[in-house]
Structure 1
Amino acid sequence: MIRDERLSWKEVRDQIRAGILNRTYAPGDKLPRDADIAETLGCARSTVQRAMRDLSDAGLVERKRKGGTHVRTDPVTRATLDIPITRREVEKRGGVYGYQLIDQSLGVIPHEVARKFEQTETTEMMRVQALHLADHKPHIFEDRWICTDTVPEILNVDLSRESANEWLVRNKPYTRFDLRFYAISADAEIAECLKIERGSPLLVIERTTWIGTAAITLVKAYTAPGYEILTSN
C-alpha cells in the first residue's frame, strides 16, 4: 500500500502559522497565493484554503476577495471553545458520570426564548430538564428547549437513556451559536436539583445554536459550586 504523503490542512496551517510567529511573514505582509503555497508544499489548493480559513478564524490573517491574504497588523487572540459532551468532561477528569432525566414535555416557548432564537412569534418546542452527575453528586442542571421543526428526530430519542446534550452534539451540527456566561443566585428549584443552599452563587452557561437561520436548541446549564471550564488556543 502506498501512503499518501501529502500534508493535512492542519499541518499546512501550522507551517504558515510558524512563519507568522517567527516573522518570516511580518504584520501587514501579503502571503503567497493559495495556489503557490499548494505547489510549494505539494498539497491540494483546497487544503491551503481550509488552513487559511482556520488562520482567519483565529485572527492571525485577513482574507479579502481579489485582495489576497495579509498577516493582520493587530492580531486578534481568540480561544476555541467547543460545545462539550458532559459525560466526556466528567470522565476525562477521572470521575464517574451519571445522568437523570427530570422532565420532558412539549409546550409553547416563552417570549424570552423566542427572542433568543431570533423569532418574532412563539412556537411549540420540546423542553428537557435533566441532571448530570459526577461521582454520584449533582454536576450540572440542564434546562433546554429544542426546536422539533429543525430536529424532528429528537422526538424518537429515548432521553431517559441518552442526554439531549450528547445526542445533539453527535447528530445535529450547528453553523453558528451564541454563548453567554453569567452568575445567579440559586432559586428553590435549582437549589433542590443541585443539592445546595438556596441563594448560593452559581455560574450559568447559556448556549443557543442554529443551522443557518433555523433554531436548534437553547440550553441553560446551571453548574454546581466548584465547576471549572478550561479553554485554550
Structure 2
Amino acid sequence: MSAEVRHSWVDIRNWVHARILDRTYRPGDKLPRDEDIAKELGCARSTVQRAMRDLSDAGIVERKRKGGTQVRAHPVTRATLDIPVTRNEVEQRGSVYGYQLLTRVIDEIPLAVMSKFSLRQSKQMLHVEALHLADQRPYILEDRWICTETVPEVLNVDLVEQSANEWLVHNKPYSRCDLRFYAVQADEYTARQLDAPLGSALFVMERTTWINLSPITTVRAITTPGYQLLTQI
C-alpha cells in the first residue's frame, strides 16, 4: 500500500485479512503492533484499531489488553448484521420510501431504558417515535430514546425531514451494539399504526448502542406483518 493514499479502516481491514488468507499470517501468529501497521501503511493508529476491532468482531483475530493481536487458531464464524438505514432498505426492495415523525420530546426515561443502558438512576433523554413507510404503507414503527449528553447535536436535527435512524447511522459511530429479536402480538395502538390485525404476530428488533461506556441510543423497531430480515455469515 502506498503511503500517499489516504486509506480507510475498511482498506486496512481488507489488507490484513488478505494476508491472513494467503497465510502470510498463519493461525496463532501474532500480528504486528497497531502503530507498526499504521507506520507501514501511512495511516492513523486509530484507523488500524478500527480495522482490527472489525476483524475481532468477525472472529478472525483475537485482541488482548497489553497482549497484542493474534490470528485465531480456530476462527469463529459469526453472523453479521449492519444497522440498516430504513430508507435504503425500502428503496432496495423497489418501493417508494416515506416517513412520519409521530413524537419528539425530551422526557424522563422509563425503567426499561435505564436497564438497557445499565443506568442506576433515571435521566432525561430525547424520545422519538416515527413510522417508516413503503409505497405509502406502514413498514416499521420505531420507538427510540437518544442520550443527548452523548449526542447533543441531535437536538439541532430536523427530525420531521430526516429520520433519527438515518441521521445516527451516518453521523454517530458506535463501539458496541446489543441486538435482541423477538415477536409480539399487535396491541390496539401498534395494530392501528401498522394497519395490522389486532393480535397479529409482529417481528421486533431492539438495538442499543454505545460509544465506549457512553450510551447513544436504544430503539424498538416493530415491523409490519410479513417483514423478512436478511443477515450474512
TM class by shorter-chain length? 0.7 to 0.9
Letter in 2 for 1:80: T
Contact 2:20 2:71 in 1 (8 A): no
Which residue identity is paired with 1:172?
K
Counterpart residue number, 2:231 = 231
Q: Does 1:184 align with 2:187?
A: no
- Residue 55 of structure 1 deviates from its aligned partner by 2.9
CA contact (8 A) 2:25 2:31 kept: no
Task: Give CA deviations for 1:75-119 in whole Å, capped at 9, x if unaligned.
Answer: 211222221110011112211100011122222111111111111
With over 3 angstroms needed to count, the CA separation of the structure-2 counterparts of 1:128 and 1:27, relative to structure 1, is same
- Alignment-derived partner of residue 15 in structure 1: 18
Provide the rounded CA distance (Å) in 2 between the counterparts of 1:77 and 1:201. Answer: 31
1:174 aligns with 2:177: no
Shift of the 111–27 alpha-carbon distance from structure 1 to 2, 3 Å rule, reads same
Aligned to 1:211: 211
8 Å contact from structure 1 (residues 13, 48) kept in 2:
no
* 61-70 or 7-16, larger mean C-alpha shift: 61-70
- Once the two structures are superposed, residues 161-198 of structure 1 have per-residue CA deviations (whole angstroms, 9 ceiling, x without a partner) of 11111111122222222111111111111110000111
* CA distances 1:111-137 after superposition (whole Å, capped 9, x unpaired): 111111111111122211110001111
- CA–CA distance in structure 1, aligned partners of residues 17 and 215 of structure 2: 34
Per the TM alignment, residue 151 of structure 1 is displaced from its structure 2 partner at its CA by: 2.0
Give the aligned CA root-mean-square deviation in angstroms: 2.9
Supply the distance in 2 between the matched residues of 1:143 and 1:95 (Cα, whole angstroms).
23
Q: Sort the Cα spacing of 1:69 and 1:229 in 2 relative to 1 into closer, same or farther, 3 A.
A: same
Question: Partners of 1:184 and 1:174 in 2: how far apart?
Answer: 28
Counterpart check, 1:61 vs 2:61: yes
Relative distance call for 1:51 and 1:106 in structure 2 (3 A) is closer
Distance in structure 2 (CA, Å) of the matches to 1:147 and 1:15? 38
Q: Which has the larger radius of gyration?
A: 1
Q: Which 10-residue stretch deviates more, 138-147 or 43-52?
A: 43-52
Asked if the contact 1:96/1:135 (under 8 Å) is kept, the reply is yes
Q: Matched residues, percent identical?
A: 56
Distance 1:214 1:60, change over 3 A: closer
CA distance in 1, matches of 2:200, 2:74: 41
Unpaired stretches in structure 2, ≥5 consecutive residues: none
> How far apart are 1:16 and its partner, in Å?
1.9
27 and 66 in structure 1: CA distance in 2 versus 1, 3 angstrom threshold: same
Change (3 A) 1:51 1:84: closer
Q: Which residue of 1 aligns with 2:141?
A: 141
Q: Give yes or no for contact 2:3–2:42 (8 Å, CA) kept in 1.
A: no
The SS at the match of 1:169 is helix
For 2:32 and 2:124, locate their aligned partners in 1 and report how far apart those are by CA, in whole Å: 50
User: What is the CA–CA distance in structure 1 between the aligned matches of 2:174 and 2:52, rounded to whole Å?
Assistant: 21
Q: Who is 1:105 aligned against?
A: 105
Under a length normalisation based on structure 1, what TM-score does the superposition of the two structures give?
0.82
Q: 1:51 to 1:95 in 2, by over 3 A?
A: same
Compute the TM-score of the two structures, normalised by the length of structure 2. Answer: 0.82
| Matched residue type, 1:74 | H
Residue identity opposite 2:16 in structure 1: R
1:17–1:55 CA contact under 8 A, matched in 2: no
Partner residue in 2 for 1:94: 94
